[in-house]
Amino acid sequence: MGFIRRTDELVDGHNVSHVTPQALDRWEARLEDIFNGRQFDMLDAALSNTVSRFPPFRDMVEGMRMDLWKSRYINFDELYIYCYYVSGTVGLMSVPIMGIAPESKATTKSKDELTKSGLSDEDIFAGRVTDKWRIFMKKQIQRARKFFDEAEKGVIELSSATRWPGNGGDQI
């Protein structure tokens, strides 16, 4: 998981203002080198066997690229896709290592939830707490709880030796 941390630091770390899309291109080329058996340093060598078995590494790099050019998502579908690239890929790579095969039946449906709720970007950024906002947020909280519940069910399926890090330290 060191490579994941190193990649994330490119777009979220203290040097983020110096990272260009070209730097991420070079980092992605380095990942391709690892896929092709060419390592630059000891960390690359350690990663070589892992990346050959867990292809979502490429998607994770794409998620980091999204961090460079996009900071807002117009609907849940866009946010969901972003979450897959930057977090879901880490989960997909971690799950087999932790003892179970990744299986997902998640789907997305296209919609602009703010508009459907009668809210605008201006409402959100102005911090207007209205009845429409409350209804909207209740739906978001319900969805988040559903995802947390699904995640907890997944954590229970992990082998007991790896379960603790997957649920933030809580005992199940």
Find, among 59, 57, 55, 65, the residue nearest to 22 by Cα: 65
What residues does each domain of the chain span?
Answer: 1-110, 112-172
pLDDT given at position 138: 92
pLDDT given at position 98: 62
Q: Which residues of the chain have pLDDT under 70?
A: 1-3, 13-16, 49-55, 95-110, 163-172
pLDDT given at position 38: 84
pLDDT given at position 50: 67
For 1-110, CATH gives 1.10.600.10
pLDDT given at position 102: 52
3-class DSSP state of 99: coil
Read off the pTM: 0.48
How does 60-77 read in b/e, with b if 16+ C-beta sit within 10 Å? bbbbbbbbeeeeeeebbe
